[in-house]
Amino acid sequence: MKKIKVLIIGGGGREHCLAWKISKSRKVEKIYAVPGNAGIAKIAECVDISIAKDSFNSLFNFVKEKDIDLTVVGPEAPLVEGIVDYFEKRNHKIFGPNSHAAQMEGSKVFAKRLVEKYGIPTANGIIFKKSNYKKAKEYIKNRKDYPVVIKADGLAAGKGVVIAKNSKEAIEAIDDCFIRNKFGKAGDKIIIEDFLTGYEVSIFCLNDGKKIIPMALAQDYKRIFDNDKGKNTGGMGSYSPVPMVSKKIFKRILDEIVYPTNLAMKKEGINYRGILYVGVLVSDNNPYLLEYNCRFGDPETQVVLPRLKNDLVPLILKCIDGNLKNSKLIWDNNKCICAALASRGYPESSSKGDIIKGLESFKENDKRIIFHAGTKKTDGNVVTDGGRVLGVVAKAKNFKEARSKVYSSINKIKFTGRQYRKDIALKAEKKKI
């Protein structure tokens, strides 16, 4: 059996988790990462090449130089910008949707029109273009129901969605998009949507352009502080499975959202190959689509992939080749929790260069893992290099044990200004599962 070389694009916790999982494959000879981080560097050769659109040629030249067989893309921006199209035209195997399919995340207006056309349950919303600025303001002034959700159309680094408590906040969000150009072209169109109450769940789906296979459910924590207080972040923790989702609700999520989405994409001529991340809100036991993402989520990846017993590499290759037909996923019954450690100032800013102490006390095993996100190595020390710094992950037979492992591990890791939530999976633990 010829072993393959794999390139992972990205440098966060999601990419460290992907590298960790891929490193366990018997099919893999060597892993490269661009740009990677201090944790990924332990299992892959990290190379500092830009992943921006104008560097696709440099990336591809690196792939050819190192005779890399497979590229796995972590973040959404290169996917939306067409890295898959670029590499596929040059006959290279790359995992992720092409730019047309990646519009499922890259344009909320594109996704909104699709779900409305095919009757997929979602919040009621109205699309406004920049040229309709006055109409958007008038609509807000006449609106009685609050809160309301304002969504910028394009990628906005996770900051393009605002939950406005009143008309003043709503107009402020509209002005950010249309007047202040806070998000550039990403804010040229907006969606003003009804606010739904309930709880959110994330589901990653493998897709080969024909068949879609749902993975295990996860739930994440977006706010910086306990009890969902404070500002939104990229995600302060996650856990899997999600005990509050009954088998009946899960079946409805699949039958009313996931499978109809796959059918809709096929009918629209969207050849989607890669991970389709479906964000769902369950309100009064009814599932509604919140959003689509065109890649693995972070930090949910860090609790889903450690529970996946299958070798990930054959599944990736089958997605690329349109050959998922007979694939079945096998799951570890253990509960898995991830708590993120963030740097000083996050999410408004992020401190860099703070020395991280205590990492040397951890021995690598499958039950307790430290995934690096915003880290780098400087003068022999691992230091902070971003907002979310580390993902502390543990598996156990129940959530109580998993939480105990996570938080005892956190106590051993120190850096200036360390922030973390203490309530990750607390509700799941209280269910005594």
User: Please, are residues 194 and 124 in contact by the beta-carbon 8 Å criterion?
Assistant: yes
Q: Rounded distance, CA 379 to CA 170, Å?
A: 47
Quote the tokens at residue 365.
């095993």
Specify whether the CB–CB gap between 378 and 393 falls below 8 A. Answer: no
Would you say residue 122 has pLDDT above 90? Answer: yes
pLDDT in tens, 382-404: 999 999 999 999 999 999 999 99
pLDDT score at 289: 97
pLDDT at 406 over 70: yes
Distance between CA atoms of residues 55 and 430, nearest Å: 49
CA angle 170, 174, 175 (to 5 degrees): 115
Q: What is the DSSP letter of 356?
A: P
CA separation, residue 283 to residues 41, 213, 429 (Å): 42, 24, 22
14 near 74, Cβ under 8 Å?
yes
Cis amide prior to 260 (ω within 30 degrees): no
Judge whether residue 433 has pLDDT over 70.
no
Mean pLDDT of 398-419: 96
Q: Per-residue pLDDT tens for 266-285?
A: 999 999 999 999 999 999 99
**Sequence-ordered alpha helix ranges (H) in 228-376:** 247-253, 259-267, 301-304, 312-321
**pLDDT-based confidence at 156, cuts 50/70/90?**
confident
Q: CB-hemisphere CA count at 13 Å for 121?
A: 16
Residue 14 contacts residue 296 (beta carbons within 8 Å): yes
pLDDT > 80? residue 100: yes
| Mean pLDDT of the 192-210 span | 96
**Above 90 in pLDDT, residue 409?**
yes
Tokens for 153, please give them.
């159309």
Q: Hey, is 320 helix, strand or coil?
A: helix
Is 295 within 8 Å of 73 (Cβ atoms)?
yes
- Between the CA of residue 145 and those of 128, 138, 290, what are the distances in Å? 18, 14, 19
Query: Whose CA is closest to 233, among 131, 373, 331?
Result: 373
- Per DSSP bridges, beta strands 375-378 and 273-283 are unpaired
Q: Please determine, for residue 432, whether its predicted confidence score (pLDDT) is greater than 90.
A: no
Q: Residue 232 above 90 pLDDT? A: no
**pLDDT tens, position by position, 48-90:** 999 999 999 999 999 999 999 999 999 999 999 999 999 999 9
- Joined together, the tokens standing for residue 172 give 């402020």
User: How high is the pLDDT of residue 47?
Assistant: 97
Q: What does residue 418 show for φ and ψ, rounded to 5 degrees?
A: -50, 130
> Looking at residues 146-158, what average pLDDT do you find?
91
Q: pLDDT tens, 317-334?
A: 999 999 999 999 999 999
Instruction: Give the model's confidence band at 215: pLDDT under 50 very low, under 70 low, under 90 confident, else very high.
Output: very high
The pLDDT tens digits of the residues spanning 19-40 come to 999 999 999 999 999 999 999 9
> What DSSP string describes 203-266?
EEEEEESS-EEEEEEEEE--EEEGGGEEEE-S-SEEEES-TTS-HHHHHHHIIIIIHHHHHHHH
Average pLDDT, the chain: 96
Instruction: Write down the residue that tokens 């001529």 correspond to.
Output: 269
Write the pLDDT tens digit of every residue in 350-385. 999 999 999 988 887 778 999 999 999 999 999 999
Residue 41 CB partners (closer than 8 Å, separation 6+): 33, 377
72 token code pair? 């796995």
Percentage of the residues of the chain whose pLDDT score is greater than 90: 94
At 431 the pLDDT is 78
pLDDT-based confidence at 430, cuts 50/70/90? Answer: confident
Per-residue burial over 312-335, b = 16 or more CB atoms within 10 Å of its CB, e = otherwise: bbebbbbbbeeebeeeeeeeeebb
Q: pLDDT tens, 168-187?
A: 999 999 999 999 999 999 99
Condensed to tens digits (0 to 9), the pLDDT of residues 280-290 reads 999 999 999 99
For residue 237, the tally of other CB atoms under 10 A from its CB is 28
Domains of the chain (ranges; CATH) run 4-95 (3.40.50.20), 98-111+197-332 (3.30.470.20), 124-194 (3.30.1490.20), 335-433 (3.90.600.10)
Tokens of 404: 């105990």
Helices 312-321 and 13-23, packing angle to 10 deg: 100
Q: What are the residues facing 46 on neighbouring strands?
A: 33
Residue 159 is predicted with a pLDDT of: 79
pTM of the predicted model as reported, rounded to 2 decimal places: 0.95
* pLDDT at residue 108, as a whole number: 97
Residue 157 has pLDDT above 80, yes or no: no
**Residue 326 half-sphere exposure, CB side, CA atoms within 13 Å?**
0
Q: What is the DSSP letter of 12?
A: S
